[in-house]
A and B are shown apart, each in its own frame.
Chain A
Amino acid sequence: MSLRVLNPNAEVLNKSAALHMTINAAKGLQDVLKTNLGPKGTIKMLVGGAGDIKLTKDGNTLLKEMQIQNPTAIMIARTAVAQDDASGDGTTSTVLFIGELMKQSERYIDEGMHPRVLVDGFDIAKRAILEFIEKFKTHVTVGETPDAEILKMVARTTLRTKLYESLADQLTDIVVNAVLCVRKPDEPIDLFMVEIMHMRHKFDVDTRLVEGLVLDHGSRHPDMKRRVENCHILTCNVSLEYEKSEVNAGFFYSNAEQREKMVAAERRQVDDRVRKIIELKNKVCSGNDNNFVVINQKGIDPPSLDLLARAGIVALRRAKRRNMERLVLACGGEAVNSVDDLTPDCLGWAGLVYEHVLGEEKYTFVENVKNPHSCTILIKGPNDHTIAQIKDAVRDGLRSVKNTIEDEAVILGAGAFEVAASQHLVNNVKKTVQGRAQLGVQAFADALLVVPKTLAENSGLDTQDVIIALTGEHDKGFIVGLNQHTGDPIDPLMEGIFDNYSVKRQIINSGPVIASQLLLVDEVIRAGRNMRKPS
């Protein structure tokens, strides 16, 4: 109240009004996202004010595209996006779970229950589920060579929620092989070593995995070969351009001759560097039909390109910084910062290097490498929004494979975990709880079922029938998920439907925290401008 005294324009919503505002916002957000969930969800085509198109089935992308204004909705959205940043998936599920927790709570609060009691129940339930998930998870043996089959099943589960089935299946092999390529035993997986390159060209099904690297630029000299085989690759970060140094500014010369002299002297330094590279080339390529390719992070100016071209060397300038690392992992050798101590050991190897030109865009493929630890997923599609959507899906797929390897575990999908967890709360946990906090546990258990319910809803099935069938099967002692075509219970293990352990764990962890915070809000104050209506 003191705020009112200080600022008479401040708007205050208290107690139940505040709570209903937050609950409505959470439900609103849930409504927007729920059609996204699962392989039967709805894809959304967003057309902007200038006619630009975005295509998405990803909760994360959708949340970022929406101009959310409501503070509660922003809080939920931030949590959900943080979920994606941490584990690469589960944005939609997080929003649904928080929304459903709020919705279930509303029922009890309307009957006069204090939110505090519910929150206590949430806390008990959460701890119980975090224990339960440890028992429920399916262990995956990783070791030296992980089981590619299970990795494929996890990747396929994710990809099928984003792309149509046969494309998803095609990409499944691509992402699994990509992760296995960059993985080194006993080191964390660095997904940056998988380059994702795209070409607006041909069709989505032409997307492929390139074992090696695709660079988005080409050589800049007309005489350099467009296709070379058996290549030594020099990866370097050496300036091969004549740069103006401090003394070179025009007015320090007294005459043109002096200027020429200084220019020539500096030119010579650059030429010397080029010459050293050519020497190395002659050393390794004389007497055989090998070729030599220079990929430089710094610039190469036309005179240097000319010298290199005359020596039969293919040279690329201004490579991405990250490609320096990738090249070495793909081709071997090392990235050199100076040409002073060049030895053949610095060089990498690629069986084939060739250029592909699309209009002004050039691509250089470095392929047929030995033993690569870096690779490229080359996405193709006829237009930008198709490419963008495949790219999002590929990112998710890669993350799911990485998670599986790092978690050394997976969780049965198709709603099986949620049904089992919910029943665990109802059948086992609830009895151990004293007093009204039981209702919080019950609300939590009901909220968990939002995942199978929404899956059923998106498939056009009757949610009540589905839940009864699933819980019934479960109580008979089976672990079951939902068959989205028929609505019948299935065994996700048989169908190969797996989700990431870390994603599920994260959802269980963060969802109740936000929901509890929101439930305990008993006053909403907005000073200054008018309160915005909940979206």
Chain B
Amino acid sequence: MKEIVTIQVGDFANYIFSHFWNFQDELLGLAQEPDGDPIYKNMPLDMDVLYRAGETQEGIATYCPRLISVGLQGSLGTLSTLDSLYNSIPSPDTSEIITWSGDVSKHISEPRKKNLFLQSLDEEWQGKSTSIGNDAVEGRGDAQIQIQDKDRVECLENGVQYWTDFSKVQYHPRSLFELHGSWTDIQKFDNYGIGKDVLSEGSQVEEMSERLRFFVEECDRIQGIQFIVDDSGGFSSVAATYLEDVADEYPNTPVLLYAARSPSSYSNIVSKKESISKCLHDAISFSRLSSLCKLMVPIGLPSLSKSKFSSVLHVEDQKLFHSSAVYAASIHSLSIPFRLGMLGPAASSSNAIGAINVGEAVQMLSSHASQNMVCTLNVAMPAPSSIDEQLKGSILRSLHSLTPEIQEDAEDFRAVETMIVHGTLYSRGHRASVSQVEDSICASYEHEPQKPLFSHLTVALCPLPIPLPFPSIFKSHVGRDGELLPGSTQSEQPKGSLDINSVPMAARLRSSNAIIPYIQRRLASIQRSGLQRGTSSAELLQKWGFGREEIEEMGEDLSRKIMSFNPHSEMSTDSD
């Protein structure tokens, strides 16, 4: 069990994974650096899990993410769907047209301008292919490069419009898929029904499933599909259709689904009609998506700047570039156990422990007592040092939820969790060893009032590297290696990739009754408006293509989900 295929659907999902792939690219780069940090060189992560090796027609070897990204037409910014890795961008010269001997008319849209960061990437790429061995020149120009990096970071801070604007990864041409909704208003791409409309056009569903088949066919032993969807709008029905296809074609491949929401999706409710539409959308979307995957993790707080993360992070909520970075870092941490090579569950190593594959993780979290398959995500970014005697348990206490609408202080003795801690520092400049971290976490659980029923721990030495196009979201008391510096003032400029090399991370997926309010709210929407006859909401559901019976079934399914948290759920409540 090895390969993971990633599917990302929707704009915010693409933002998050743009950061995610930047982390991977950074790790690949750091591992290759001749005199780099041994922590990256001896990295236990098997990159082949997420990447595929390929070859262009000209015989040039390539190494690209095993990925399908779905977005609306025009959401790729300056990136062409035909990436330059496999195709040279064809010249728009009319003499190149060989299929028509008659007249030609040329229509050129205004070229989108690449920002400073992308320009420098292009230069670097071209430089690599033309000249090798100009180290001396580079050395002298160091001061100059420093300034340029600052400019590049600044241009990203102020001007990210597309998720491709800050991506330093080269994608496979089959990875980027644009949905053609010829005459749909993109501003209105905000509900379940409209996604269906767009998909009905042409053979887009077939094309999407063909792309997936291309990547799956290459896999010798696929371990699972990591699927992320921006479920706040029409993309949730696009994802549902895609997931249906996955369930049909690859029934035994587990799907781990992240349902992500951007902060902006929580605002702008003006009229009552819109709010009804939104509630119904949330309910339908959750019901459909959760029925089509093995494990679902809702992520996306209405505001990160007003959350508990604000003590260490300075996130500007209106910038997708900012908030997506936090989620990306968390998902990177969650993906670590799936990539820890072929270590058995009991094997230990000095670099990492706790390998587990997607199927096992899904199985573990979803098949215990409550059968709950909707998990909450808690993250500590950066994770504090937990080795110190006085700071015992600080990692656990610094974990904050990235899942919205949950009951924070829920007590659940049947909770099951998987926790990942990586890159933890012992003291300034020294990494804690794997066994030290393990012991400390185990010890801190001893003192916790609520212990989960079962906890799986993954520890790795390697921290989260901060690549250049990472936003400046750290407060000034975060140090170069992600340590918390004592006594800094809060008012200083936020720090970004130029000041911070890496941060230690801790992330935890937990299946517990904390999620009940999240499901309850959706159930209530269905019961309140979905099941009334002749109302505007019933009309809306009909427009989206749902019959009354389907809605009733969804309602029953959701109430079953909630009921299963009750330890005495065998008692039937059918009688009411």
Q: Given A64-B180, A389-B99, answer yes or no on A50-B77 (Cβ-Cβ < 8 Å).
A: yes
Complex Cα–Cα for A361 and B87 (A): 14
Q: Given A50-B79, A241-B221, answer yes or no on A249-B359 (Cβ-Cβ < 8 Å).
A: yes
B105 lies within 8 A of chain A by Cβ? yes
Indicate if the CB atoms of A165 and B101 lie closer than 8 Å.
yes
Indicate if the CB atoms of B111 and A42 lie closer than 8 Å.
no
Indicate if the CB atoms of B183 and A47 lie closer than 8 Å.
no
A345 lies within 8 A of chain B by Cβ? no
Indicate if the CB atoms of A43 and B82 lie closer than 8 Å.
no
Complex Cα–Cα for A360 and B63 (A): 12
Q: Which residue of A lies closest to B218 (CB)?
A: A220
Chain A residues lying within 8 Å of B107, measured Cβ to Cβ, are 44-47
**Which of A368-376, A380-388, A497-505 lies at the binding interface?**
A380-388
Q: Which of B306-348 contact A (CB under 8 A)?
A: 344-346
Indicate if the CB atoms of B360 and A250 lie closer than 8 Å.
yes
A74 lies within 8 A of chain B by Cβ? yes
A188 lies within 8 A of chain B by Cβ? no
Complex Cα–Cα for A48 and B75 (A): 12
B132 lies within 8 A of chain A by Cβ? no
Complex Cα–Cα for A35 and B103 (A): 9
A302 lies within 8 A of chain B by Cβ? yes
A429 lies within 8 A of chain B by Cβ? no
Complex Cα–Cα for A301 and B74 (A): 39
B108 lies within 8 A of chain A by Cβ? yes
Chain A residues lying within 8 Å of B249, measured Cβ to Cβ, are 321
Interface string of A68-101 (1 = CB under 8 A from B): 1000001001100100000000000000000000
B362 to chain A, nearest CB (A): 9
Interface string of B55-76 (1 = CB under 8 A from A): 1111100100000000000101
**Which of B209-217, B387-395, B557-565 lies at the binding interface?**
B209-217
Identify B345's interface contact among A64, A246, A250, A390, CB under 8 A: A250
Indicate if the CB atoms of B100 and A47 lie closer than 8 Å.
no
Number of interface residues of B (CB under 8 A): 63
Chain B residues lying within 8 Å of A249, measured Cβ to Cβ, are 359-360, 363-364
**Which of A15-23, A51-59, A471-479 lies at the binding interface?**
A51-59
A244 lies within 8 A of chain B by Cβ? yes
Complex Cα–Cα for A99 and B399 (A): 64
What class of interface size applies to chain A in its complex with B?
Answer: 35 or more
B102 lies within 8 A of chain A by Cβ? yes
Q: Which residue of A lies closest to B96 (CB)?
A: A383
Chain B residues lying within 8 Å of A81, measured Cβ to Cβ, are 182
Q: Which of A29-49 contact B (CB under 8 A)?
A: 35, 39-49
Q: Which residue of B lies closest to A388 (CB)?
A: B99
Indicate if the CB atoms of B213 and A384 lie closer than 8 Å.
no
A100 to chain B, nearest CB (A): 21
Indicate if the CB atoms of A317 and B217 lie closer than 8 Å.
yes
Give chain B's interface secondary structure class.
Answer: loop
Indicate if the CB atoms of A78 and B92 lie closer than 8 Å.
no
Q: Which of B166-220 contact A (CB under 8 A)?
A: 180, 182-183, 210, 213-214, 216-217, 219-220
Chain A residues lying within 8 Å of B94, measured Cβ to Cβ, are 45
Indicate if the CB atoms of A50 and B99 lie closer than 8 Å.
no
Q: Which residue of B lies closest to A78 (CB)?
A: B183
Q: Given A359-B56, A386-B99, answer yes or no on A49-B105 (Cβ-Cβ < 8 Å).
A: no
Indicate if the CB atoms of B356 and A250 lie closer than 8 Å.
yes
Identify A53's interface contact among B90, B344, B364, B367, CB under 8 A: B90
Identify B82's interface contact among A52, A256, A381, CB under 8 A: A52
Complex Cα–Cα for A299 and B222 (A): 10
Indicate if the CB atoms of A48 and B57 lie closer than 8 Å.
no
Complex Cα–Cα for A91 and B104 (A): 20
Indicate if the CB atoms of B102 and A41 lie closer than 8 Å.
yes
B307 to chain A, nearest CB (A): 33
Indicate if the CB atoms of A63 and B182 lie closer than 8 Å.
yes
Indicate if the CB atoms of A45 and B106 lie closer than 8 Å.
yes
B147 lies within 8 A of chain A by Cβ? no
Indicate if the CB atoms of B359 and A244 lie closer than 8 Å.
yes
Complex Cα–Cα for A270 and B298 (A): 37
Q: Which of A250-288 contact B (CB under 8 A)?
A: 250-251, 256
A109 lies within 8 A of chain B by Cβ? no
Shortest Cβ-Cβ A-B pairs, 3 listed: A359-B57, A318-B217, A250-B345
Chosen A-B contacts, 5 in total, with CB atoms closer than 8 Å, are A64-B180, A200-B57, A220-B220, A318-B213, A318-B216
| Residues in chain A within 8 A of chain B (CB atoms) | 35, 39-53, 55, 57, 63-64, 68, 74, 77-78, 81, 163-165, 167, 200-201, 203-204, 216-217, 220, 239, 241-244, 246, 248-251, 256, 299, 301-302, 317-318, 320-321, 358-361, 381-386, 389-390, 393
Known: A52-B82, A241-B221, A359-B55. 20 other contacts (CB 8 A): A42-B102, A45-B105, A45-B107, A46-B107, A46-B109, A50-B76, A55-B99, A74-B183, A204-B99, A220-B220, A249-B364, A302-B220, A320-B210, A321-B249, A359-B54, A382-B98, A383-B87, A386-B98, A386-B99, A389-B99
